[in-house]
A = this chain, B = another copy of it.
Amino acid sequence: MLALEEARTRILAALEPTPAETVALAEGWGRVLARPVLARLTQPPADVSAMDGYALRAADGVAGARLAVIGSSPAGHPFAGEVGTGQAVRIFTGGFVPPGADAILVQEDAEEADGIVTVKEAVQPGRWIRRRGLDFAAGETLLPAGRRLTARDVGLAAAGNNPWLTVHRRPRIGILATGDEIALPGDPIPAGGIVSSNAHALAALVRAGGGEPIILPIAPDDRDAIAAAAGAARACDMLVTSGGASVGEHDLVQKALGPEGFALDFWKIAMRPGKPLIWGRLGRTPVLGLPGNPVSAMVCAVQFLVPALAVLSGLPAAPPATMLVRTGAPLAANDKRFDHLRASLSTDRDGHPVATPYPVQDSSMLATLARAEALILRAPHAPALPEGAEVEAIPLGQFGI
């Protein structure tokens, strides 16, 4: 059985980012840049005022001075002339500082009447002037390739005058649920069967990770059906199967895909829940075979599929983000399998996050998994810990997972 970290490293090392595509700036949010975004202009384009007030010569800005107001320079409407000795120009935040002026008299230190402004408080040369290029200069890299764009990034790309962005195509992930016993919600349920939850949960997780899910029709436990359904994998950046990954006689995914050219890398991981996990390649398409058990499938997806989506999207290879929490209950010593305790999150008196594992951790309890706000991570052979000890946990809900 492979260690969890080694399995993840092997999975991520086998993946490449999707090719680039051009999208409109307005579609850029959440996408990963395939090329850097450069500034196509200098911002601010000239020295501008940081305040409402008057632009003047610093030498004129002594207390008691009276200056002739010869015009105004609001944002977007630069004053056409020059400021001479004894003169001032009304200016507003973002307005260009007119030639000749080298100081700003802020509004509350000024008094204007009949076209004359009186200086009530001496100015400081350069104070309240934002220099040309303070924010960025033309040609500068505003956003590097490989960055997932936030709302602020979209604003910065806009400010740099970029109507288009070059991003990685959303990874297309084929999702194939297998099993005679499963039916889609609302469809007739076979005797002894259950409603399929993995395909749609995984599709939602793919969306959460910025991918484009393609839900393939459910394949019954039949080699030909699975092989045929997997043919759809050729159009995908990755095929994710669920079910048929354990050792029982009814585990067909490996057998069905073998004759189609499936090359297995590994298929067992020292983790709980989720021991059986297939990783390999069908032609050029990577294949991740998740367990059929919904809780195991989702925990494996958090540990392997979410990071895989990141790499396919053009982000660096990395484990899922974790946070330090205090355990809300004593933890038993762990055995040889990496464990994931479903836990609720709360905050202690000092404002620190506390993760409390649910008392029953049965891997068939999907309702408990859905309610969970974090997975407490327990490395193989981790020692017993008292309540309040610091542990690492993967927060779930805040990422939509």
Query: Chain A residues in contact with chain B, CB under 8 A?
Result: 25-26, 28-30, 41, 43-46, 48, 50, 52, 74-78, 92-94, 96, 130, 134-136, 142-143, 148-164, 179-182, 184-186, 189-205, 207-208, 215, 221, 246-250, 292-294, 298, 321, 324, 351-352, 362, 364-367, 369-370, 372, 390, 392, 396-401
Contacts and interface: CB of A to CB of B under 8 A. Distances in A.
Nearest to A160: B195
A198 B155 contact: yes
Contact of A41 (B195, B248, B370, B401): B195
A93 B362 CA distance: 13
A230 B204 CA distance: 36
B158 A78 contact: no
Chain A residues touching B, majority SS: loop
Contact of A143 (B149, B190, B293, B370): B370
Contacts of A184: 158, 163
A365 B134 contact: yes
A33 to B, nearest CB: 12
A398 B150 CA distance: 9
A202 B151 contact: yes
Given A194-B44, A194-B159, A151 B29 contact: no
B77 A181 contact: yes
Contacts of A143: 370
B248 A204 contact: no
A69 to B, nearest CB: 13
A76 B180 contact: yes
Given A134-B364, A194-B43, A207 B400 contact: no
Interface centre among A77, A182, A192, A292 (most CB of B within 10 A): A192
Contact of A151 (B26, B180, B205): B205
Given A74-B248, A155-B198, A184-B163, A396 B150 contact: yes
B186 A248 contact: no
Contacts of A372: 152
A335 to B, nearest CB: 15
A222 B108 CA distance: 27
Contacts of A93: 246, 248, 293
A365 B50 CA distance: 12
A157 B197 CA distance: 8
Contact of A250 (B92, B150, B365): B92
A180 to B, nearest CB: 4
